[in-house]
Amino acid sequence: MKDCVLKTNQLSKQYKHQVALNKVNLSIEKGSIYGFIGQNGAGKSTLTRLVTGLAMPTSGTVELFGETDERRLIQARKRIGATIEQPAIYPHMTAAENLEAHRLLKGVPGKECVQKTLALVGLHDTGKKKAKNFSLGMKQRLILAIALLGDPEFLILDEPINGLDPMGVVEIRELLKKLNSEKGVTILISSHILSELHLLATHYGFIHKGELIEQMTLHQLEDKCQQYFHIKVDNTEKAATIIETVLSTNDFEVMPDGVIRLYKYLDQPTKVSTALVNAGLIIEQFKSMGQDLESYFTKLIGGIQHG
Amino acid sequence: MGNLLKSELFKLKKDTSFKKLTLALMLIAALFPLIASIYGTEQISVNELFLTIIGKNNYVLKLIPCLLAGYFIASEYSLGTMKSIASSGNSRIRIYISKLMVFSFGAIIFSVILPIGMTGTGAILSQFNDMPDLKYFAQIIIFTMLYAAAFASIMMLFATMFTDSGKTIGLLILIFLLFDGVMFMLASKITLFEYIYNYSVFKLSYDFININALESIEVFKLAIVPIVTYVIFGLLGVLAFQKKEIK
């Protein structure tokens, strides 16, 4: 098993009578990009706040770079770069001054890293413009620059592409991928834009009402979100028999509404339709479908809510 | 801790409220003696000018740092920048102490601008006419700094609890304006309050003007009370900050 950068053990957080996080056992492998998915108020920010030391757990432990002792945890947090919730910048300072304040705070040697980091996020030409006059996208880039200062080994990013224009989204995505592949930076990223997360993450964690309901790798998710043919015919039973006998496969499902989901012959739609028509069936619907991350998440949450 | 102090000093240097308030006090320090010398009938007595300033400087000591507490301390919470500081891998004790030290430094700067600036300007304009006793001048400046730091420690605790600039400024000004009156009223009815008030920095900050007429035990009391206040409120602040959930 690979080393874990972050592990939580039965981590819980309760605010008065409200359980914000309930016995969460999360683990993030070194070198992975972990997509953290959940609705508003599901517990994503609570977990990141516990990991970064902004709040104290009610019970359970946080293990960061193998450290669980409170003093060592504080030291381990020096190896983290984090952006949590709203843009946290000094509005009366320029981008470079904001970074300088954080460089001094983190004790990062050498002033040159300020310009280098600003260039990395595309803010090197903002000059004397105060941060309060930045657009939301520029503020997001600045926050990311602050998190990247001092070459952290583990990045915790909360909605990092919020407010970015399409080009900015691509740039930040590529930057994060580059940091991950070239420098081995582990990234925990939460975003509401699941399609974007799908292009980036190698691992996923789904959180709902304070409980971590599922963790999986990208491969496992792809298996679960597999493509299929959505087939509706006038006689479902006969169609099922034809698929089994003529097409020689059991890799299909009959849904309660009579729709057949066929997971084989995805590159041969003509073969499938011909077999059904030749058997005298009338095809009412025939289309290629598949789940994306969004529909998988919706189904997962829906299943729990209705369960 | 060095990096935390450097960072806080950098932020204080860049703080708009600190810069504007310093500039405003410097302007007053320069203009007041200038106007007095232009429109006054007699030549300025620097000693009299100094005595006038230190009588009024109590308000600067108590009220001006309230604004800095709001903009420099509480705003860290409302802006969300305290999250970056608290998750930076530094212990909360160190974070609080470094912030307190730099905030106290800012309050001390405010507190000495008028006595030093006005006396200096008055001395130049009057060609050093009737200068104050140097020992007395130095004692007053040192005590002014001590009391400014003690008040800063109290303000910092409240700013940490309120975490909102406007609320902090409003409530601190209210507390610092009303404290003397409320305590005076309570002290007249309950002896314990009289005792507390007599040994508080609020009461003693009026007394150190008469330092040259006091006995050494009284001087010791004037010196030890702000130091103890600074330490006690500093410790209370550390405790409050350690238990604080940073939102």
Residue A298 lies inside a defined structural domain of this protein: no
Residue A301 lies inside a defined structural domain of this protein: no
The confidence score (pLDDT) of residue A307 equals 47
Residue A62 lies inside a defined structural domain of this protein: yes
Q: Output the domain CATH number for residue A268.
A: 3.30.70
- pTM of this structure: 0.84
Lowest mean pLDDT among A88-92, A287-291, B221-225: A287-291
The residue written with tokens 């060095």 in the block is: B2
Answer with the one of A200, A222, A244 that is the final residue of a domain: A222
The confidence score (pLDDT) of residue A23 equals 93
Residue A304 lies inside a defined structural domain of this protein: no
Domain limits for position A243: 226-290
Residues of chain B numbered 175-204 and touching chain A (CB < 8 Å): none
Are A217 and A230 found together in one domain? no
Residue A154 lies inside a defined structural domain of this protein: yes
The shortest CB-CB distance from A75 to any of B2, B81, B89 is to B89
CA distance B116 to chain A (A): 30
**A230 contacts A286 by C-beta, under 8 angstroms:** yes
Q: Do A105 and B85 touch (CB under 8 A)?
A: yes
pLDDT at B215 exceeding the cut of 70: yes
Instruction: Write the CB contacts of A21 (distance below 8 Å, at least 6 apart in sequence).
Output: A11, A12, A13, A43, A46, A47, A50, A57, A210
**A254 contacts A236 by C-beta, under 8 angstroms:** yes
| Secondary structure (DSSP) of A256-291 | TTS-EEE-S-TT-HHHHHHHHHHTTPPEEEEEEEE-
Q: Do A107 and B11 touch (CB under 8 A)?
A: no
Most A CBs within 10 Å: which of B88, B98, B99, B246, as the mutation test of the A interface?
B88
Q: β-strand A59-64 against A203-208: which pairing, if any? A: unpaired
pLDDT at A260 exceeding the cut of 50: yes
The shortest CB-CB distance from A104 to any of B10, B16, B86 is to B10
Q: β-strand A80-83 against A33-38: which pairing, if any? A: unpaired
- Residue B242 forms contact with A (CB below 8 Å): no
The shortest CB-CB distance from A88 to any of B7, B80, B89 is to B80
Are A240 and A115 found together in one domain? no
CA distance B43 to chain A (A): 44
The confidence score (pLDDT) of residue B112 equals 96
Are A270 and A152 found together in one domain? no
Query: How many domains does chain A fold into?
Result: 2
Mean predicted confidence (pLDDT) in A270-275: 91
pLDDT at B38 exceeding the cut of 70: yes
Q: Do B81 and A75 touch (CB under 8 A)?
A: no
The confidence score (pLDDT) of residue A293 equals 76
A196 or A66: whose pLDDT is higher?
Answer: A66
Mean predicted confidence (pLDDT) in A221-227: 76
CA distance A61 to chain B (A): 17
SS3 B129: coil
Q: Tell me which chain A residue has its CA closest to the CA of residue B78.
A: A88
The confidence score (pLDDT) of residue B134 equals 92
| Token couple for B34 | 């200038």
SS3 B246: coil
The shortest CB-CB distance from B89 to any of A77, A85, A93 is to A77
Rounded CA separation A12/A26 (Å): 12
Rounded CA separation B95/B76 (Å): 12
Domain limits for position B51: 2-243
Residue A129 lies inside a defined structural domain of this protein: yes
Are A208 and A264 found together in one domain? no
Residues of chain B numbered 67-126 and touching chain A (CB < 8 Å): 79-91
Are A145 and A284 found together in one domain? no
Are A133 and A243 found together in one domain? no
Answer with the one of A178, A198, A222 that is the final residue of a domain: A222
Residue A113 lies inside a defined structural domain of this protein: yes
Query: How many domains does chain B fold into?
Result: 1
Q: Tell me which chain A residue has its CA closest to the CA of residue B9.
A: A101
The shortest CB-CB distance from B79 to any of A54, A56, A88 is to A88
pLDDT at A306 exceeding the cut of 70: no
pLDDT at A65 exceeding the cut of 50: yes
Mean predicted confidence (pLDDT) in B38-51: 84
- Tell me the chain B residues in contact with residue A146 when contact means C-beta distances shorter than 8 Å: 84
pLDDT at A94 exceeding the cut of 90: yes
Mean predicted confidence (pLDDT) in B34-57: 86
Q: What is the CA radius of gyration of chain B?
A: 19
Are A240 and A279 found together in one domain? yes
The shortest CB-CB distance from B87 to any of A53, A75, A93 is to A53
Instruction: Write the CB contacts of B33 (distance below 8 Å, at least 6 apart in sequence).
Output: B44, B49, B118, B121, B122, B125
**A28 contacts A50 by C-beta, under 8 angstroms:** no
Q: Tell me which chain A residue has its CA closest to the CA of residue B95.
A: A105
Cα angle for residues A179, A183, A186 (degrees, 5° grid): 70
Are A211 and A281 found together in one domain? no
Alpha carbon B205 to chain centroid, angstroms: 10
The confidence score (pLDDT) of residue A304 equals 57
Q: Output the domain CATH number for residue A190.
A: 3.40.50.300
- Nearest CA to A4 out of A78, A62, A74, A70 is that of A62
> Given pLDDT bands bounded at 50, 70 and 90, which one contains residue B113?
very high
The confidence score (pLDDT) of residue B65 equals 94
Are A215 and A281 found together in one domain? no
pLDDT at A104 exceeding the cut of 70: yes
SS3 B231: helix
Q: What is the pLDDT of residues A126-137, one digit of tens each?
A: 889 999 998 888
The confidence score (pLDDT) of residue A1 equals 56
Q: What is the pLDDT of residues A1-14, one digit of tens each?
A: 568 899 999 999 99
Lowest mean pLDDT among A221-230, B132-141, B203-212: A221-230
Are A92 and A144 found together in one domain? yes
The residue written with tokens 């009156």 in the block is: B181
> H-type helices in B40-128, by residue range?
46-68, 75-79, 81-86, 92-125
Answer with the one of A173, A203, A222 that is the final residue of a domain: A222
| Token couple for A112 | 């040159």
Q: What is the pLDDT of residues A156-207, one digit of tens each?
A: 998 888 777 888 888 888 888 888 998 899 999 988 777 788 888 899 898 9
> Given pLDDT bands bounded at 50, 70 and 90, which one contains residue B105?
very high
Rounded CA separation B105/B148 (Å): 9
Residue B216 CB coordination number (10 Å): 7
Rounded CA separation B175/B183 (Å): 11
- Tell me the chain B residues in contact with residue A49 when contact means C-beta distances shorter than 8 Å: 245-246
Conformation bin of residue B244: beta by default, left when phi > 0, alpha when psi is -120 to 50: beta
Q: Tell me which chain B residue has its CA closest to the CA of residue A45.
A: B247
Are A170 and A260 found together in one domain? no
Most B CBs within 10 Å: which of A84, A105, A111, A130, as the mutation test of the B interface?
A105
Most A CBs within 10 Å: which of B9, B17, B83, B94, as the mutation test of the A interface?
B83
Q: Do B3 and A107 touch (CB under 8 A)?
A: yes
Q: What is the mean pLDDT of chain A?
A: 87
Are A15 and A160 found together in one domain? yes
Residue A206 lies inside a defined structural domain of this protein: yes
Lowest mean pLDDT among A33-37, A47-51, B117-121, B214-218: B214-218
Lowest mean pLDDT among A138-142, A218-222, A271-275, B2-6: A218-222
Q: Do A55 and B245 touch (CB under 8 A)?
A: yes
